[in-house]
Amino acid sequence: MVLVRRMKGGIFVSPILWVGLLFGTLLFRTDVLRPAFQWAFPGVEPVIYQRSTFPALFLSHFTLVAVSSLAAISVGVSLAVFVTRPIGRDFRSMVNALATVGQTLPPAAVLAIAVPAVGFGPRPTMLALFLYGLLPIVENAIVGLEGVPRGVCEAAAGLGLSPWHQLRDVELPLAAPVILSGIRVSVTIAIGTATIGSTVGALTLGTPIFNGLVANKLPFVVEGAVLVALFAIVTDLCFATLDRWLRRGTGQGSAKEIDEDAEDEDGDAAPKQKRQNVLRPGRARRYGRKIG
């Protein structure tokens, strides 16, 4: 299999591996940087943030992002499905307007409004991240669902699939790479934006940043900022890998990737040609059997 061949040859040059190792090392062994910080910031003590452990801060940060992103994905994809059906087309402009309002509101303003209603802690942060991450998911989900070729939908209807099965087995799988692009943007934004939750009492990787600014301890700021950046980079690389896998699965990858996959399955070099939203014959046969 081409995937196995790629894994054997490229696992040790994968950026995910090395960036992930760097992130894990700094997260669990931040103390290894103590000599470097003592040299770079003489007279600052302590140079390593000690009010809470970085793994605990990361776990809290990850939970905030995961919960808010899952909520945004559920609501965003559901709204996109609704407005791309005949019954909901009249509501498309209203949905787009509401999602745009959520994106244009600064997260700090959302926090200021939410704190009197829900109190301090993680809840106002989750609300801000949810509203801020909704627009990319809604827009990309609408584009992905509307980009499914009409002929594919007609063929699915001809096979006797109900509208629900057409959506589940045909439209969503073909639109998945585009939807994933919106989720990727939304989650990456949420990772960076979640740091401001520390201003309302939420524990995040932004906590050392704000504590460092208040106490004039630059090492704390550097530690928090580097960990947040590495967290975002690792997450983005994981989404990029998943995106390539989805595009290969639906025949929407680059010509080179499709040709290599076809050559591995058929034993012959496939002619290079641009294929978008079209399943390769081998995959189409398997997909047809799955539907039937």
What one-character DSSP code corresponds to residue 270?
A: P
pLDDT in tens, 128-144: 899 888 989 999 999 99
210 and 198 Cβ atoms separated by less than 8 Å? yes
Could you tell me the domains of the chain? 2-243 (1.10.3720.10), 251-292 (no CATH)
| Residue 259 pLDDT exceeds 50 | no
Res 102: pLDDT: 75
* 49: number of Cβ within 10 Å: 21
Bond before 46 cis per omega within 30 degrees: yes
Listed residue (169, 143, 136, 175) closest to 155, CA to CA: 169
pLDDT in tens, 85-129: 888 888 888 888 888 887 777 778 888 888 888 888 889 999 889
Tell me the average pLDDT of the chain: 81
**Long-range contacts from 281-290, C-beta under 8 angstroms, 24+ separation:** 283/249, 283/250, 283/251, 290/169
Q: Which residue has the higher pLDDT, 162 or 8?
A: 162
